[in-house]
Each structure stands twice: as structure tokens, then as C-alpha cells.
Structure 1
Amino acid sequence: MPQSDLDEIDRRILRVLQADGQITTAELASRVGLSPSPCARRVRLLEQAGVIKGYAAILDQKKVGLPISAFASIKLERQREEDLEAFADAVARWPEVVDCYLMTGQRDYLMRIAAADLEAYERFLKDKLTRLDNVASIETSFALGQVKRAEVLPLI
């Protein structure tokens, strides 16, 4: 379902669900101006179309014992399709990597790693990231503090 297929009611549903994924269907329907059955049907269609990918609790990274956010910028030796796929497959298996993006520019990937401490990040680096065949270089920066983190997309 392309964004152009989303009408104003779909956008209202998505805005409300982004703010409160545990809202009841009746409350959601009331807030977007529908009766519960059509509202539930729209939500189901948004889920089936992949617009809504799932529901999750948003955790406090520090309170669950992972206060370190390391940002690793990775350059590969080669950028052939099979090399990119091999890297992506490996990263997908690593729970420490909470975000990873294929990038333009001088580096190929940017990833955010959540770690309990510097030693945990070092273990991740030595045991996983540096063992991949095609990694040419890794530059890491550590976040000193978080200014903003949004789980809500700016739907217009």
C-alpha cells in the first residue's frame, strides 16, 4: 500500500497507534471518528499491507543494562551484491546491532550497537565484526548522551 493510498482516516489511525500501540479498538475508533468494526478492518488492512509492521514495547536502554550506544561506520573491501548480502545476513543475526543502514558516501554501513559497557563492545568488535571477511575498516564513535530518539514517524 503506497503512501498515496493512505487516506486521512488511515493517517489518523497510524498517528494514534504510534502514540499508543495498546489502545483498544473501541478507543481507537472513537479517536479517529469510526465505529469499531470498520476501524478494526482498516487496521487489519494496514497490517496486511505491511504499513504496520508490528507492535512492540519501547524500552529504556539504560534501565535494561545497555547504557552504551556505539556508532560504527564500516567500509567494505568490495561492494558487490553478494558481499553486501553476506554482510547484511551476518548483521541480522547479531542482537547487539539495533540499527544498521547501507549508506552513500565514503563508508558503506552505519550501525548502532547497544552494549552494557566498553568491554562488551570490544567483545562484539573482536568476536563478530572484525571476523567478517570483507570488512576493510571500522570507525567507532560513542554517544555521550541522547538528545532525541523518536519512535514516531512524522505522518502528514
Structure 2
Amino acid sequence: MPNSPRDGIDEQILAELRRNARISLAQLGGKVLLSRNAVRQRIERMERDGYITGYTITETASDGAATVNAVLLIQRHDRMRGSDVIAGLRAIPEIATCDVVSGELDLIVRVEAPDAGRIREIWREVSEFPGVRDITTALSLSTVIDRQPLR
């Protein structure tokens, strides 16, 4: 059982390591806004505390998907003053994108998680945000088009 609590930066580090376990400490530091040394120390602490218990090789699914993807369609109580919902979403490392949209919905959020259980945990967490009125969740069954965004 892990010993000490993790914070948001630890969660971000773990999410990045899940995406790419071979990411360099410098690249990881750039993503979480810490120095390479600070990232190394956090990883070593999470190893000592039991959050990282080993390193393993996993095979991806036949379609190449290594994660479970879902879309959360969120309606807020107050569209104009609903920034607290966006702030809460920013703290969840598995949130890949969040778009503010027009129409009946307020936010379209794409989630990339290691499994459906984590999607359920995220849904529960987001549904408890004070500014959230309703959520519709769509679990991705397969990806048939995956274009890289223009830069």
C-alpha cells in the first residue's frame, strides 16, 4: 500500500509516463513545469512510496489503442461564470482536450485513460464539481480517423 499522498504534479508525471514510459526527464520536466532533477526526485519518491512498483512491457491492442477514450459532454449551471469547472478539469491529467462550444452544450472534453474504471472515476469527480449541471458520456469503441493537429 502506498505511503504518502500524491499531488497534481505527481498525477501528471504518472499520466505522462503511462503515455510514454521512455520520455526523457528533461521532456517530462517541460510538460509538468519542473526541472529534470525535481522530476527524478518525484519519480524516486513514488517508487519508494509504492506508487510505482515496477516497470513492465505491455502489448497494445490490435488496433494500436493503448488507452480507453471517452468524450464528456458537459452542461454548466452558469455559462458565463463557469470557469471553476474548467479549472477543475485542468487538474485531471487524463483530460486530453477541453473545448468551449456553442449550442446546448458548454464543454466537450476528451479523456484518455488507462481503463474504463478510471473513466468512471473521472466522470464521478467531474459530476461532483459545483458548476456542473449535467454530463453525457460517450465511450469510444474504436478510432477510424486519427489526424494529427495542424501546428
List per-residue Cα deviations over 1:98-127 (Å, max 9, x = no partner): 01100111110001111222211111122x
Partners of 2:132 and 2:66 in 1: CA distance: 26
Instruction: Report the Cα offset of residue 67 of structure 1.
Output: 2.1
Q: What residue in structure 2 maps to residue 148 of structure 1?
A: 145
Measured on the aligned residues, the alpha-carbon RMSD in Å equals 2.6
Q: What residue in structure 2 maps to residue 77 of structure 1?
A: 77
Q: What residue in structure 1 maps to residue 132 of structure 2?
A: 135
Q: What residue in structure 2 maps to residue 47 of structure 1?
A: none
Partners of 1:149 and 1:65 in 2: CA distance: 11
Identity %: 18
2:102 corresponds, among 94, 101, 104, to 104
Unaligned stretches of 5+ residues in structure 1:
1-53, 56-61
Instruction: Report the Cα offset of residue 152 of structure 1.
Output: 4.0
TM-score by length of 1: 0.52
1:96–1:114 Cα contact (<8 Å) kept = yes
1:136–1:150 CA distance, 2 compared to 1 (3 A): same
Runs of 4+ in structure 1 over 4 Å off? 62-66
Instruction: Report the Cα offset of residue 93 of structure 1.
Output: 1.4
- Number of residue equivalences: 92
Partners of 1:148 and 1:90 in 2: CA distance: 29
TM-score by length of 2: 0.54
Partners of 1:137 and 1:117 in 2: CA distance: 23
List per-residue Cα deviations over 1:8-29 (Å, max 9, x = no partner): xxxxxxxxxxxxxxxxxxxxxx
Deviates more, 1:65-74 or 1:100-109: 65-74
1:99–1:112 Cα contact (<8 Å) kept = yes
Q: What amino acid is the match of 2:138? A: S
